[in-house]
Amino acid sequence: MDPKSVLEFAQKHSAKILDLRFTDLPGLWHHVSFPIEQLSEKSFEDGYGIDGSSIRGWASIHESDMLLVPDPSTRFMDPFRDTPTLVMIGDVIDPITKQAYPRDPRHIAKKAEAYLGFNSGHDFQTRIVVKVNAPQVLREELRRPGWRREHIAIGTACDPYQQAEARFHLTRQILQILCEHMNPFGLLTKSHLVVRDLDVLQDCARVARIRVNFSVGTVNEEVWRKTEPGTPSPRKRLEALRTLARAGIPAGIMLAPILPGLSDSRESLEEVIRTAVEYGARSIAPVVLHLRPGSREWFLPFLREAYPHLTPHYAKLYKGAYAPESYTMQVCETVEELCQKWRLRKEPVLAETPKGQLALAL
């Protein structure tokens, strides 16, 4: 789509606000908004000036002034805002050289795709890049004099037991290295493949504080098949949890994502908690669905197709990336009550990796 088509698209949908989104170096999303009147064909060349001094991982250039240039191919209308809002993702540009900013994750991704010969469409959906040197890099990091055996979170960005792990054994090597250094860690997965590494996990548990959590948002087969196609069933995950628990590995449940209207009822939450207790879970941590840019663009079309009757409900709940605090607190309070009933410890949920942690995402 070209700039002229974007303007026609905005006019057709009576857009009042332009919302430009971009990511910082660690990958968290930010946004800036402008009146739609400030959008013209020239905007796709000149961009919009922003102050990047507070953006994590960005170095100051030219007193931190940067340009955010909208990508016309990313345009869509935000369905959850009361005021018609046109959304686009922006590329960060050096205002002096007019070159892409080297620390812009989109620029980094484009360079990687070009180097690998990938495109952002079919290739992105069907091909995977394997970091075969991850164990060696980890070993070097743990040997640094300044490392103080801080807790490491594994699986915060993608599952460490994806199907490729069955071939490459990278996660297993990483666990062995963590064991050698007696380094504490937590691991989050949806896969029963973790059972393959039971022997290593037992070794780790003898020398460091570890925990394995399984992501289970529902035990309803129909909801699981629609919302998590291609993933191991909740029962397989729970069977893996039971195997680990019986072997003495601290294991729990990340009750996530809790989906409004699909898995947030008291009955649904209790079914997960009761089943988790039966399979040996020691703790549970609830996480209500959040729709950040990237997941939002995927989830909303899915919702309209699979559960059209819920679209108005989500439009009310998700004006932004998160559901209202009142709703989230209500769900968490229900989980708290059910945990007390079933004598299961409720763990706090960390929205982001705490300071002092190294997030290891394969």
Mean pLDDT throughout 203-224? 96
The domain segmentation of the chain, as residue ranges, is 3-126, 134-360
Q: Do residues 138 and 360 lie in contact, with contact meaning Cβ atoms separated by under 8 Å? A: yes
Amino acid at 107: H
Residues 313-350 pLDDT 10s: 999 999 888 899 899 999 999 999 999 999 998 765 43
Residues 96-116 pLDDT 10s: 888 888 878 778 777 777 777
DSSP category for residue 215 = E
Total Cβ atoms within 10 A of residue 226: 14
**Residue position matching structure tokens 């399979």:** 279
266-278 vs 234-246: helix axis angle to the nearest 10?
Answer: 40
Select from 20, 12, 1 the least CA-distant residue to 293: 20
Peptide bond preceding 257 in cis form (omega within 30 of 0) = yes
Length of the chain: 362
- Topology alike, domains 3-126 and 134-360: no
Percent of the chain with pLDDT over 90: 62
Provide the pLDDT confidence category of residue 60 given band limits of 50, 70 and 90.
Answer: low
- Name the β-bridge partners of 126: none
Give the CA angle between residues 144, 148, 149 to the nearest 5°. Answer: 100
Question: Which CATH number is 134-360 given?
Answer: 3.80.30.30
Provide the pLDDT confidence category of residue 351 given band limits of 50, 70 and 90.
Answer: very low
Total Cβ atoms within 10 A of residue 16: 14
Residues 271-324 pLDDT 10s: 999 999 999 999 999 999 988 766 787 788 889 999 999 999 999 999 888 899
Can you give the pLDDT at residue 59?
Answer: 60
Q: Of 149-163, 229-243, 297-311, where does the model show the most confidence?
A: 229-243
For the 3-126 domain, the top CATH level (class) is alpha beta
Total Cβ atoms within 10 A of residue 240: 25
- φ/ψ of residue 289, rounded to 5: -50, 135
170-180 vs 198-207: helix axis angle to the nearest 10?
Answer: 20
**Residue position matching structure tokens 């729970």:** 238
Q: Do residues 65 and 49 lie in contact, with contact meaning Cβ atoms separated by under 8 Å? A: yes
**CA end-to-end span of the chain:** 33
- In this model, does residue 4 exceed pLDDT 80? yes
- In this model, does residue 22 exceed pLDDT 70? yes
**Residue position matching structure tokens 């706090």:** 348
DSSP category for residue 347 = P
Sign of CA dihedral 260, 27, 305, 81: positive
Half-sphere exposure of 151 (CA within 13 A, CB side): 10
